[in-house]
Structures are given as C-alpha cells and as structure tokens.
Structure 1
Amino acid sequence: MPEKHLSTQFDSELSSVSSRVMEMGGLVEAQVQQAVQALGQFNAEEARQVIELEHRVNTMEIELDHEISSIIARRQPTARDLRLLMAISKAIANLERAGDEAEKMARMVLSIIHNGAPRALPASELRTAADLAAGQLRKALDAFARLDTTNAVAILKEDDLIDREFDSFVRVLITYMMEDPRTISPSLDLLFLAKAIERVGDHAKNIAELIIYIVKGADVRHSSIEEIESVLK
C-alpha cells in the first residue's frame, strides 16, 4: 500500500501496519460472514464463534493503535504519510465497530433461538441485506489494500441498496407486529439485528471514503456521489 521512502525501516513499519490491518479486516469479515450464517440457519454454535472472535479483534485494535502512535511519534511523518497513518487509524476503528455489530447480530440470533421465536417471522428476508453488507465489507477491504478509488466509489454507490433493504424489512416487521402482538418481542430482536446489518454497511462505506482521503487528500464524508466523482477527476 505505502510508497517507498528513503528509510527502509519506515517502509517496513508501514508495511507491517498495513498487513496487520488486513489481518484484522479478515477476522472482522469472518465474524460478519459467520453471523450471517448463524442468522440464515439459526445456528447457536456459529453465533457463539462470532462472539468468541470479538476478543481477538479488540486486542488487535489496541495493538495497532499503539503501533501507529509509536510510528507517528518516532517518524514525525508529513503530508501523504501522515494522511495514510491517520486513515489507517480510522479504518481500524471502523473495523472494530463492524466487529461489534457482528457480535450484536450473533447475540440477537442467540436471543431469538432462546426465546423460541415463531418460525413465521421473516428472518430469512434479512439474508439479502446481510449478504450485501458482508460483501460491501469484503470489497472495501480489497479496495483499501490496493487504494482503489474506482471500487471505492462503486461501494459508495451501492450503500443505498442496504438502506433500502433495511427500510423494506422494517415495514414488513411492523405489519407482523400489528397483526399479532405476540410477535412484538421477537420482532424487536429482528429489528435490532437488521440495524446491526445496516451499520456494517455503514462502516464499509466509511472505509471506502478513507481510500479517497488517502489518495486525493479530500474529506468526502457527507458528500454526494457527483461531488466525489468530481474530486477524483
């Protein structure tokens, strides 16, 4: 990811950090994928494995934060190098939060299993949004590794798909709760689960925005797609 510097030690440090971020991203991606599988099959064992991974993800976040702070203090990087390190730090935070959302998904699945939620509830309809969110995270990590602004923009354009799936699912759940008040409690579990899925997509979007920040030095948060594409021209 980083460019070559006069100091080979600095290059080595940047390469090490970048590699470990990808490793952390792989763990979070595994969390999200397992949470999706747990949801699709109401598999308690899969859900527990997601929760167990959380400690490793949190540990990596702390270690990487320390490593980045140490590099900044010792190397006093400027311009693009500082931008890169700051963006990596923000990407790490987004990955950790995506892992938190995967853990929430797993806990909601366990709650639904424990409470014996009616099979008539539309849990399967969440699978599309969950697959979209997992796919967005995977693509964001790949684009981040290659600093690929073209795919970063594609990820930003696709973010609305997850939001639309979430809105559609909420309308379905409201219908279920109105027709049968007994489904209110398990429906709320599904609602929280759907919100966690949406937030995984949000963190993937944030990582995509960081790619543009690294490459162009432009903060494109809260910008329209047209404004972002103008920055990249």
Structure 2
Amino acid sequence: MSDHTSKQFDLELESIRTRVLQMGGLVEQQIARAVLGLIEGDASLIYAVIEDDHKVNQLEVELDEACTQVLAKRQPAAVDLRLITTVIKTITDLERVGDEAKKIAKMAKAIRDGSLAVPDVQVRHMADLAVAQLRHALDCFARLDMEGATEVVRHDKRLDAEFKAVMRQVITFMMEDPRMISGGIDMIFVAKALERIGDHAKNMAQYVFYMAKGEDMRHAQLEQIEQAAQAARA
C-alpha cells in the first residue's frame, strides 16, 4: 500500500470514529430532552425528540454504509478490521438508545395529553446515571480505554438498583391511590427505558475489549472483564 493510500485509509477510519462520537452526542441530547420534557411537561421538547429520531436512524444508515465501503475497498485486517466491526455493533446500540429516548418522549406525551396523575418518583437521577454511563462508554471507545470500560460494566448495577427502587416507589403509589395507575405504568416504562440505555452503554463498553485486544467480552462475567483489563495494563 502506498503512503498516499495508507494516509487516505487513516483519514477514512478517523472520519468514521468521529461520526460515531457525533451520533453518540446526538443520542445523549435526545435522552436529556426527553427526560426534561417529561419532568417539565414541555411539549416542544417532547415533540423535538420524537421528530429528531429520524436523524439518529439516518446516522446509523450512513455509518453502516461507510463501514461497508471500507470493508469492500480496503479489505482491512487486524486492528482496522476490529475497529470497523466494533463501529457496526456500537452504532446499532446507539440507534437503540435513540429508540429508548423516543419511548420516553412518547410516555411524556401520553402523560401530558391525558393529564394523568403521576407518582412523585425521581427519574432525573436515574437519567443522569444513564447519560453518564453512555458518555463514559463513548469516551472509552474513543481512547481504547479498557480500564474505563470495566468501570462502565461495573457501574451498570447502579442503574439496575435505581430501576428496582423506582418500581417499588411507583407500585406503592398505585396501591395507595388507584388514580395513579395509568401514570404509574407510564413511569415504569420510562424507568425501564433508562435501565435499557444503561444496558446498551454496557454493551458498548464490552466492545472496547474486542477493538483493543480482540477479546470478546459480550457475555463475560465482571471478574473476567476486570482480569482482562489488568492483563492489558501489565
């Protein structure tokens, strides 16, 4: 491969990495707007999330096509092939995170349009945790940070615990006041969407190990992931 071709290939890969992070930034924005729209009952935020979901989908399609073109033209091997494979998996998770943000916006719309009584449960903290997990996973992708990726996997349990806590709170409210049932069910769906966002962030963190070292950690236990990170550091 000539220097020119090699440099061009590097530029193509860098462009793909940059666009993945841009997609991640858009998805983060979608989550934040959906939750704020829910909390404040802001119709403009709610509708913006629903309307902008197509932008997330379009980015996935464009990045998928870019990866296909690289595979066809460059026939990458080793690290470069692992990068492309990781990008394809990562953008799938990001698109699904976008879908979860849209679900939250739709729940917010149903609550607002139906003037439903909603249990006074705090989902903002859970949303902050989910966004922080997603941002950390994207940062680990950008820096091939296996230590950080291990933290993302480890901290997924916090979101699981938050989901269970919200569930208990909502059920208590619904038992005490049947008028809360419809709004309570919607809030459970919101909490589940946030918990699923955490799961997608965890998936993305696990892909970092494959991109960096070729190790598939998708179904590994936390202890195995921690050992892999330690071995890479040694």
After TM superposition, the score normalised by the length of structure 1 is 0.93
Matched residue, 2:130: 133
Residues 37 and 43 of structure 1 are in contact (CA less than 8 Å); yes or no, is this contact kept in structure 2? yes
Residues 174 and 181 of structure 2 are in contact (CA less than 8 Å); yes or no, is this contact kept in structure 1? yes
Question: Which of 219, 223, 227 is 2:224 aligned to?
Answer: 227
Question: Which of 202, 208, 211 is 1:205 aligned to?
Answer: 202
Farther off after superposition, 96-105 or 183-192:
183-192
Using the TM superposition, give the Cα deviation of residue 5 of structure 1 relative to its aligned residue in structure 2, in angstroms.
10
Q: 1:209 is aligned with what amino acid?
A: Q
Distance 2:156 2:181 in 1: 29
After TM superposition, the score normalised by the length of structure 2 is 0.93
Matched residue, 2:40: 41
Query: What pairs with 1:1-233 in structure 2 (closer than 5 Å)?
Result: 7-118=6-117, 121-123=119-121, 125-232=122-229, 233=231
Using the TM superposition, give the Cα deviation of residue 36 of structure 1 relative to its aligned residue in structure 2, in angstroms.
2.1
Distance 2:97 2:204 in 1: 11
Q: 1:94 is aligned with what amino acid?
A: D
Q: 1:27 is aligned with what amino acid?
A: L
Using the TM superposition, give the Cα deviation of residue 215 of structure 1 relative to its aligned residue in structure 2, in angstroms.
0.8
Distance 1:33 1:141 in 2: 16
Distance 2:5 2:227 in 1: 33
Residues 42 and 113 of structure 1 are in contact (CA less than 8 Å); yes or no, is this contact kept in structure 2? yes
Farther off after superposition, 10-19 or 42-51:
42-51
Residues 104 and 196 of structure 1 are in contact (CA less than 8 Å); yes or no, is this contact kept in structure 2? yes
Using the TM superposition, give the Cα deviation of residue 222 of structure 1 relative to its aligned residue in structure 2, in angstroms.
2.3
Q: 2:67 is aligned with what amino acid?
A: I
Distance 1:66 1:25 in 2: 17
Distance 1:211 1:51 in 2: 30
